[in-house]
Amino acid sequence: MSDYVIEMLHITKEFPGIKANDDITLQLKKGEIHALLGENGAGKSTLMSVLFGMYKPEKGRILKNGQEVKINDPNDANALGIGMVHQHFKLVEVFSVLDNIILGAEDTRGGFLLKKEARRKVMELSERYGLRVDPDAKIEDISVGMQQRVEILKMLYRDNEILILDEPTAVLTPQEIDELMEIMRSFAREGKSILFITHKLNEIMAVADRCTVLRKGKLMGTVEIQNTTKEELSRMMVGRDVNFVVEKKQQKPGDVVLSVRNFSVKSRVHKNDAVKNVSLDVRAGEIVCLAGIEGNGQTEFISALTGLEKARSGHVTLCGKDISKASIRQRSIAGMSHVPEDRHKHGLVLDYTLAENMVLQKYWQQPFQKHGFIQFGEVRRYAERLIEQYDVRSGQGADTIVRSMSGGNQQKAIVGREIDTDSPLLVAVQPTRGLDVGAIEYIHRQIVGQRDAGKAVLLVSLELDEVMNVSDRILVMYEGEIVGQFDPHEITVQELGLYMSGAKRQEVLL
Amino acid sequence: MNKRGLVNVAASIISILLGMLFGFILLEIFNPSAALNGLNNILTTGLRTPEKFGKVLYTAAPLLMTGLSVGFAFKTGLFNIGASGQYTVGAFFALVAGIQFGLPWYVCILAAMVGGAIWGAIPGLFKAFFNVNEVITAIMFNWIGLFGVNLALNNMPKMLASFWGAPYKNKTAAISAANKSALLPKLGLDEVLNSPYINIGIFIAILFAIITWVVLNRTTFGYELKACGYNRNASQYAGINAKKNIVLSMVIAGALSGVGGALYYLSGTAQYVIEKTLLGMGFNGIPVALLASSNPLGTIFSAMFISYIQVGGDALQPQFAKEIIDIIIAVIIYLSAFSLLIREIITRVGAKKHALQENGKGADAK
C-alpha cells in the first residue's frame, strides 16, 4: 500500500504553441490539504483537468493507491472518488439546491426519483460538516458562498475521497473564507484528501500541509508549509521577490474632485434602498477606499455613481460640475474613468479584438473616427501603445480576440485603458479580483501612480489587505450606509472587521 | 483572407456538399430511375441557358435582401424572424406607390424601405423599451402584416388586376399594365440573356450588400451595433445607447427586407397574390444569412446558391412531384445551414493536426 492516494507522475500536456504541463509530478497523501500554487497560466488548471479526465496528457501516469489508473472522462474520475469544485460553478440556476446535488447521481426506483432518501442524506452531510444550506432554495436566489457549499455537498454526496477545489476563495467574503477553511480542516481530519488550487499565499499558510508550486508549466517543487514562508513561496511562484507592501510616499490631498451628497439608490431585490443617504468626497491625489462585506450596497452605489443605473435621490458633482442626471457618456467626458467590477459583463466585449476593446469609450472621438468611419490604423496604433505600456500579453497582439486572453491580461487591458484616459477621477471596483500576486502588484502600482499624478481614486475592495495597503482613507460601508471613516495607519484589521460586520459604528462627518 | 474567413468558407462548402448528398439520397428514394438525372438537373439547370441564369439572378435579388436583413439583425444580437412580414409590407408600399400613385420605380423602392422599416421598428421598440422578445413580436407582425396588406388590397380597387382589365380579383395589377415607369429597368439585359426575368434588381441588392458590409465593419455606427450584439452590458458601460441601437438595427433590417419585396414585385413578372400563407422569401433569408455566417458579402453568394438550387429544383418536374422537390430543396438548404457545426469540426481537427505538427517539430529539435 502506497503512502499516497493519488500520484500524478511526470505529466506532460501540450497545446498548440505551449507546453502547459512539462514533466510535472504531484503526490497527494491521505488526509492532507495540499495546495497547488502558481500564477495565472502556470498550468494549474490544466493539471487538474488531466486528473479529472478532461484532457489526455501526452506523457505521464496517474496512480491511485499505488495502482495505475486510466481516467478518460469526469465519470471515471468520479468513480475513483475524485470530485472537483470548479472556479465557475457548474450549477443549474433554476433547479433547487437538492436537485443540483443529486443531478447525475440520482437514485431511482422504477424510473422515479427517490428524493426523500436523497434529502435525508444531503441533510445528514450538511449537518455533519456544518455546511448549512436550504435544500429547497433555487440556486439563482442564493449567495455565491452558499452556491459553493452546494458544490461541496455535491462531492460529498458522491462519496468522493479526493476533493479538488479550484480557487475556492476568489468569490468569498473574509468570513466565508474562514468558514471554508474550517470545513476543509474537518474533511482532512476525516481522512479526505484535498487539493486546493490558489494563488493566495495567506490562505496556503493558514490551512495547507504541503504546497506544490508551478511556474510557466514547470514544477518548481513541493514544500512543507511548516518549513517555509510566504516570501519563499512567492519567490518560487513568480521567480523574483514580490513586494507585498505597496510603496507610496505621503502626499497631501488637493481639491475635492468628486463630491457625493445624500445619495440613495433603490435595491434591485427588495423594496428598501440599497444605498442610504451616502455623502462622501474624494480629493485630488488621494485614494479613498470603500470597504465592506460584499452585498452592503457598494455595487449599487458604484452603478448609480457611474450612471449604469439611476439614483433615487442625491447629487454628484465632478470637478465642480453637477452630473447627477448625466448619461454614462457625459460622465465619462466630464472626467470619470471606471474599472468595472465584472470585467466580462461590463468591461469588455469579449468577441471584439483587443484593439477594438481599447477604444471602447473613445471610438467616436478624433482621431479614431472621421466622418462616421472608424480609423482602424489609428485604433491599432493606439492599442499597440497601450499593450506595450501596460504589458498586456496576448497571442496575436492587437488582433487577439479578447475572449482567448487570460483573466489577468484582460484586467490589465481594462486598467490600462481606463488610466490612459487621463481622467481626474478613477473609480476602480475590485480591480485585482482573481488575479495573481504579480498582476496585483502591478495594478496596485498603477493605481498609486495615478494618485501620485494628482488624480482622485475611489477604490472599492473586499480584500482587507488591499484596503489597508493601498488606501489613504478608508470608508466602511454597512447595509448601504457609511459607518466609519479611518486612516489606515490608525486602525487594525480586527477593528475594521467590527465596523464591516455592523458591530460598531461612528458618526461620519465630512 | 485571414484564417478564420477561410474556415468559414470551407465550412459552407462542405455543408453544401453534404446537403447535395442528402438531396440525392432522397431523389433515390422517391424515384430511383430518375435520380441521377434529377441531381444533374439541380446542379446544372441554372447555368444551362442564359434564360435560366437570368432567373437565378432574378430570385437571388429578393433572397439577398432578406438574407441581409436577417444577417444584419444577427450581428446586433437580434433574431429577425419577421423578415417575411417586413418583406410583405415593403412590397405593399412599393406596389401602392407604383400602381395607386403612378410613381417611378426608385420612389417605389424608397416607399418599400419605409414600409419595411416601420414593420421592423415595432418589434425593435418593444424589445428596447419593454424587453419583449423580438422573436415573438416579429412572428405576430408577420401575420398582422400579411392580413393587414390583404385587407387593405381588398379595399383598394385600383390596386387589383381586375381594375386594369384582367379577369381576376385575387391579384394585384400587372405593373406593365398599370404604370410602366414603376418597372425596374432592364438595361437591355433581357435581350442579352433572352430572359424576361432579368432586371437591375440583383445589382441593387449587391449594392445594398456592399453598403451593409461597410456600415457594419467600417463605421462607428456598425461598431456600436456589433458591440450591442456581442455584449449589451458592455456597450452600455461604454456609453452606447443600447435601446436606440436595438431600434435602429431593427429599422434597418426591416428596410432591407422591404427593398426585397420591392425588387421582387417591381420586376413585372410577379403579381402579389392575396393568400393566407406567409411569404417564404422572408424565411429563406434565415438560411441565406446562416450560410454566409451573417457576413453581408458572403450573403451575395449564399443567396445566389439558394436561388440556383431553387431554379434547378423547378426543372425536376414532372418526374418528381412539386412537394417532393420542395422537400429536397429544404433538405439541401437545411443541411447547408449546418456550416456552424462544420466550422466547429474543422477548427477542432485543425487544432489537433497543428498540435501533432508542433510535436513533430519538438521531437526533431531534441
Whole-angstrom distance, CA of residue A372 vs CA of residue A363 = 10
Can you say whether residue A70 is alpha, beta or left, with left for phi > 0 and alpha for psi between -120 and 50 degrees?
Answer: beta
B 55-94 near A (Cβ less than 8 A)? none
Asked whether the predicted pLDDT for residue A44 surpasses 50, the reply is: yes
Q: Which of A327, A345, A373 sits opposite B219 (nearest CB)?
A: A373
> Of A65, A83, A1, which Cα lies nearest the Cα of A27?
A65
A376 assigned to some structural domain: yes
pLDDT at residue A407 in the model: 78
Residue of A15, A360, A410 to mutate when probing chain B, most B C-beta within 10 A = A360
> Of A382, A400, A379, A401, which Cα lies nearest the Cα of A390?
A382
Q: How far is A340 from chain B (nearest CA, A)?
A: 9
Q: How many CB pairs under 8 A join A and B?
A: 69
Q: How far is A202 from chain B (nearest CA, A)?
A: 34
B230 CB within 8 Å of a chain A CB: yes
Distance, C-alpha B252 to centroid of its chain? 14
| Domain final position from A362, A388, A422 | A422
Helix then strand then coil, % of chain B, to nearest 5:
80, 0, 20
Under the banding of pLDDT at 50, 70 and 90, the label for residue A479 is: confident
pLDDT tens-digit readout, A432-442: 876 777 788 88
Q: Which chain B residues are within 8 Å of A376, Cβ to Cβ? A: 218
A 9-48 near B (Cβ less than 8 A)? 14-17
Please indicate, yes or no, whether residues A271 and A295 belong to a single structural domain of this protein.
yes
pLDDT tens-digit readout, B223-236: 999 999 999 899 99
Q: Peptide bond before B104: cis, by omega within 30 degrees of 0?
A: no
Q: What is the chain B residue with the closest CA to A399?
A: B2
Asked whether the predicted pLDDT for residue A397 surpasses 90, the reply is: no
B238 CB within 8 Å of a chain A CB: yes
Q: How far is B4 from chain A (nearest CA, A)?
A: 12
pLDDT tens-digit readout, A455-476: 999 999 887 888 888 999 999 9
Q: Which of A14, A332, A345 sits opposite B239 (nearest CB)?
A: A332
What ipTM was predicted for this assembly?
Answer: 0.79
Query: What is the number of helices (H) and of strands (E) in chain B?
Result: 16, 0
Please indicate, yes or no, whether residues A127 and A258 belong to a single structural domain of this protein.
no
Whole-angstrom distance, CA of residue A145 vs CA of residue A123 = 18
Residue of B215, B220, B243, B361 to mutate when probing chain A, most A C-beta within 10 A = B220
- Cite the beta strand spans of A101-161 per DSSP E: 108-109, 112-113
Mean pLDDT value of segment A333-349: 91
Does the distance separating the beta carbons of A327 and B239 come in below 8 Å?
A: yes
Residue of A18, A22, A349, A368 to mutate when probing chain B, most B C-beta within 10 A = A349
pLDDT at residue B24 in the model: 86
A44 contacts A38 by C-beta, under 8 angstroms: yes
pLDDT tens-digit readout, A188-208: 998 999 998 887 788 889 999
Domain total of chain A: 3
pLDDT at residue B214 in the model: 96
| B171 phi/psi in degrees, rounded to 5 | -130, 155
Whole-angstrom distance, CA of residue B294 vs CA of residue A292 = 46
A100 contacts A122 by C-beta, under 8 angstroms: no
Helix then strand then coil, % of chain A, to nearest 5:
35, 25, 35
A276 assigned to some structural domain: yes
Q: Which chain B residues are within 8 Å of A360, Cβ to Cβ? A: 227, 234, 237-238
Pick from A216-220, A315-319, B30-34, B347-351: least confident:
B347-351
A396 assigned to some structural domain: yes
A247 assigned to some structural domain: no
- Cite the beta strand spans of chain B per DSSP E: none
A 80-109 near B (Cβ less than 8 A)? none
Q: What is the chain A residue with the closest CA to B215?
A: A373
Domain membership of residue A485 as a residue range: 254-335+423-510
Please indicate, yes or no, whether residues A116 and A234 belong to a single structural domain of this protein.
yes
Q: Which chain B residues are within 8 Å of A349, Cβ to Cβ? A: 226-227, 230-231, 234-235
Residues lower than pLDDT 70 in chain B: 1-4, 336-337, 339, 350-366
Q: What is the chain A residue with the closest CA to B221?
A: A372
Please indicate, yes or no, whether residues A389 and A414 belong to a single structural domain of this protein.
yes
Please indicate, yes or no, whether residues A435 and A418 belong to a single structural domain of this protein.
no
Please indicate, yes or no, whether residues A397 and A484 belong to a single structural domain of this protein.
no
| Domain final position from A182, A208, A238 | A238
A350 CB within 8 Å of a chain B CB: yes
pLDDT at residue B280 in the model: 85
| B319 phi/psi in degrees, rounded to 5 | -65, -30
B348 half-sphere exposure, CB direction, 13 A CA radius: 6
Residue of B232, B237, B366 to mutate when probing chain A, most A C-beta within 10 A = B237
DSSP tag of A243: -
Under the banding of pLDDT at 50, 70 and 90, the label for residue A510 is: low
Q: Which chain A residues are within 8 Å of B243, Cβ to Cβ? A: none
Q: How far is B353 from chain A (nearest CA, A)?
A: 9
Please indicate, yes or no, whether residues A153 and A292 belong to a single structural domain of this protein.
no
Please indicate, yes or no, whether residues A416 and A280 belong to a single structural domain of this protein.
no
A 175-234 near B (Cβ less than 8 A)? none
Does the distance separating the beta carbons of B233 and A14 come in below 8 Å?
A: no
A40 contacts A104 by C-beta, under 8 angstroms: no
Does the distance separating the beta carbons of B238 and A352 come in below 8 Å?
A: no
Please indicate, yes or no, whether residues A355 and A293 belong to a single structural domain of this protein.
no
A103 assigned to some structural domain: yes
Residue A310 in grid coordinates: 439611476
Residue A133 in grid coordinates: 444550506
pLDDT at residue B290 in the model: 85
A377 CB within 8 Å of a chain B CB: no
A246 assigned to some structural domain: no
pLDDT at residue A164 in the model: 92
Whole-angstrom distance, CA of residue A410 vs CA of residue A246 = 22
DSSP secondary structure letters along B127-187: HHHH---HHHHHHHHHHHHHHHHHHHHHT-GGGBGGGGT-S-SSBBPPHHHH-GGGSPP-T
Asked whether the predicted pLDDT for residue A491 surpasses 50, the reply is: yes
Does the distance separating the beta carbons of B355 and A15 come in below 8 Å?
A: yes
pLDDT tens-digit readout, A79-125: 899 998 887 788 888 899 999 998 888 888 888 888 888 899 989 88
pLDDT tens-digit readout, A68-85: 998 888 888 888 999 988
Count CB atoms within 10 A of the CB of residue B129: 11
Q: Which chain A residues are within 8 Å of B245, Cβ to Cβ? A: none
Whole-angstrom distance, CA of residue A384 vs CA of residue A466 = 30
Q: How far is B85 from chain A (nearest CA, A)?
A: 31
Please indicate, yes or no, whether residues A159 and A203 belong to a single structural domain of this protein.
yes
Residue keyed to cell 379595399 = B155
Please indicate, yes or no, whether residues A55 and A156 belong to a single structural domain of this protein.
yes
Percent of chain A with pLDDT strictly greater than 90? 39
| Domain final position from A238, A265, A300 | A238
A308 CB within 8 Å of a chain B CB: yes
Q: How far is B236 from chain A (nearest CA, A)?
A: 7
Class of residue B167 by CB neighbours under 10 A (exposed 0-12, middle 13-18, buried 19+): exposed
A192 assigned to some structural domain: yes
Whole-angstrom distance, CA of residue B204 vs CA of residue B259 = 9
Q: Which chain A residues are within 8 Å of B219, Cβ to Cβ? A: 372-374
The CATH number given to whatever domain includes residue A302 is: 3.40.50.300
A243 assigned to some structural domain: no
Q: Which residue type does A207 have?
A: V
Q: How far is A330 from chain B (nearest CA, A)?
A: 8
Q: Where are the alpha helices (DSSP H) in A17-108?
A: 44-51, 74-79, 97-102
pLDDT at residue B110 in the model: 97
End-to-end CA, chain B: 35
Please indicate, yes or no, whether residues A395 and A428 belong to a single structural domain of this protein.
no
Q: Which chain A residues are within 8 Å of B355, Cβ to Cβ? A: 14-16
Class of residue B117 by CB neighbours under 10 A (exposed 0-12, middle 13-18, buried 19+): buried
Q: How far is A308 from chain B (nearest CA, A)?
A: 7
Residue keyed to cell 394585384 = B172
Q: How far is A15 from chain B (nearest CA, A)?
A: 6
Does the distance separating the beta carbons of A345 and B239 come in below 8 Å?
A: no
